[in-house]
Amino acid sequence: MRLMRHLSFNSLCFRLPDGGEKCQYALTFADGMLTLNVCSGTAREGRSMRNHITVFLLTAAVALAFGSISQAGAGVQQYWERAQQEDYKSPEELQAQHAREVRKGQFYRELMRGNPNAKSVALTFDDGPHPQFTPQILAILKKYNVKATFFVVGKMAKQYPNLIKQEAAAGHVVGNHTYDHVNLTKIPLGDISIQWQKGNDVIKRILGQPPCFCRPPGGDYDRAVITAASANGLTTVLWTDDPGDYAKPGDRVIEERVLRRIDNGGIVLIHDGIQQTIDVLPQIIEHLQKRGFKFQTVAEMTQECAETIPASKPKTPGSIPSLKIR
């Protein structure tokens, strides 16, 4: 332990003129937190005192060790708290990151957008399920005969499995949004795959099969995140359209932002759990339908892209091409 290296124990014995012996003991913690100085009378007393000091030293060492473990545990807790902070990448940031990957010849198992030559759009809902909000979304999608994609949080899916079953039964795609909804670039490397795997396991227990698609919270990913997703059989899906509805800017603001960015092959990021989004969802769907857009799930979008768009050769077997946002 780091703290233990700062603990020292020293003794000094010297003979007195009358033939006796004096001994001095010092137990010191380097940062000055613990200091003990003891002077014994004779050598015999010194031996007895040494026994007491030994016991004291061992006790202090154990206490310091537990203190170090406690501090380490607190550090881990703070680490995960930071990873749970909301921090969303904008479509422009995602586009720039993808452009850098393409320049470096890095082709990952990811979907950046649909077919840019097709008038189609994908509605994707993150952060569910929620018993108060998910049924409302499902009812609206059913009314307009729209199929969408739900990226669900594993621990929420575990709590409300019937909502996951309702999503799948209605023909929607259920994707993995990690188990704990943490920023995957801010947790230890070994925990990244665990987040994907635990999310997969929950969905598989509910639906009988694991998901094929995932989305990292906040769109924050790096090579380790996307490689771990691929290793768990997942295609990472990002977005081209983010109205920032998680900040609850108002239903009209959400509607205006969504419609302003819509383009062929667009992937819209909105959230399950925001009443403002639900309130304006019918107007968004109606407007897009009037403009001639077709709604797709990310599974349909991926299939269409694989069939119609020439792709650069993927780096990993079985991976789909990485599509450039235009």
Catalytic (active site) residue 126: yes
- What is the rounded distance in angstroms from the CA atom of residue 245 to the CA atom of residue 148? 17
> Which one is predicted more confidently, 244 or 77?
244
Q: What is the pLDDT of residue 309?
A: 47
- Nearest of 280, 272, 279 to residue 255 by alpha carbon: 280
**How would you classify the pairing of strands 120-128 and 294-295?**
parallel
pTM here?
A: 0.71
Angle of helix 161-169 relative to helix 189-207, nearest 10 degrees, comes to: 70
- What is the rounded distance in angstroms from the CA atom of residue 234 to the CA atom of residue 236? 6
Q: What is the pLDDT of residue 22?
A: 52
Render pLDDT for 130-147 as a digit per residue (tens, 0 to 9): 999 999 999 999 999 999
> Which one is predicted more confidently, 21 or 164?
164
Strand partners, 241: 268
Whether the Cβ atoms of residue 177 and residue 126 lie closer than 8 Å to each other? yes
Average pLDDT over residues 243-266: 95
Q: How confident is the model at residue 105 (pLDDT cuts 50, 70, 90)?
A: confident
Render pLDDT for 167-218 as a digit per residue (tens, 0 to 9): 999 999 999 999 999 999 999 989 999 999 999 999 999 999 999 999 999 9
Four-CA torsion 223, 227, 229, 235, nearest 10 degrees = 90
- Nearest of 131, 132, 123 to residue 151 by alpha carbon: 123
- What is the rounded distance in angstroms from the CA atom of residue 62 to the CA atom of residue 25? 20
Catalytic (active site) residue 31: no
Catalytic option among 181, 241, 271, 272: 271
* Ordered domains of the chain (ranges, CATH): 3-83 (3.30.160), 91-308 (3.20.20.370)
> Which one is predicted more confidently, 205 or 101?
205
- What is the rounded distance in angstroms from the CA atom of residue 38 to the CA atom of residue 25? 5
